[in-house]
Amino acid sequence: MSPARVIYFAATVGVLAVPVWSVVHEPLPLGALFAIVTGYAAVTCLGVFFLGLRMYTNALLRGPSGARGVALTFDDGPHPTYTRKVLDALDAKGAKGTFFVIGRKVEEHPEIVKEIIARGHTVGLHSYAHDRLFSLRGPSVVRRDLQKAIAVLEKVTGERVRLFRPPIGHTNPIIARVVEELDLDVIGWSVGARDGLAGTTAADVLSRVMPSAKDGAIVLLHDAPERGEREPAGVSALPELLEKLEAERLDVVPLASFQERV
């Protein structure tokens, strides 16, 4: 169990103890109540925003100790132009990547998903709608979105998807429960290229990724913009990134080589 989850459980027990304390002893002063509620809200929000804390779910963030190589992951596709550029760059080096695709884009470009698989790469799920407020939705909305995305992807690939990266990396107890119900493995990252941000250059991507590119790293890049048509900087950076990883003697390895069922 992650330290953050221990803190979350302890904080939840503490908050639930407040009314009991108030009945058995005396009501807490308003100032103390405010501090407890604010503190609890802060703890739970940290868990929502930072997947790496693994407060609500056991996300894979990096390879196990002793893992060799670096896994490259690409979010927000498929895209008819940019995904193919990524595939060409990976294939030129014989490298394998994992693509976390958005269900509604899979419906628009099923042929790109088929091509990803035909060229030997892996496909994971990145929700159906890529709703930025996913972590504020109720269980039925979250379940419907993921079930729809799973079905859309299965229709195209013929296989039930297992890997899931939450939209913008946010999780909460509802998402964690639905993910478990649907038997999905949550995949995080240890190195974020932030290549989807406006104004990011290929040089920015290289300077963000290379210092943290170590054995066992999971790198988050994009093969499509979340919205619109702007090419993510990671797409143009990829050929040089692969050269630099090679120069550092870091193999690009399939994500599956890092996976131990969690």
Residues that bind Zn ion in the complex, under the rule CB under 5 A: 75-76
Residue 176 token pair: 């964690």
Token look-up 């509620």 returns: 37
Least Å distance, CB 226 to Zn ion, is 6
Strand, coil or helix: what is 233? helix
Nearer to Zn ion, 8 or 189 (CB): 189
* Cβ atoms of 245 and 70 closer than 8 Å: yes
Nearer to Zn ion, 76 or 185 (CB): 76
Nearer to Zn ion, 127 or 216 (CB): 127
Least Å distance, CB 52 to Zn ion, is 16
Nearer to Zn ion, 67 or 186 (CB): 186
Distance of CA 151 to the CA centre of its chain: 20
Least Å distance, CB 87 to Zn ion, is 19
Which residues carry out catalysis? 75, 222
214 burial via Cβ count (<10 Å: 0-12, 13-18, 19+): middle
* Rounded Cα gap, residues 67 and 253, in angstroms: 10
Least Å distance, CB 167 to Zn ion, is 5
Evaluated on CA atoms 239, 240, 246, 252, the torsion sign reads negative
Q: Which DSSP state fits 27? A: P
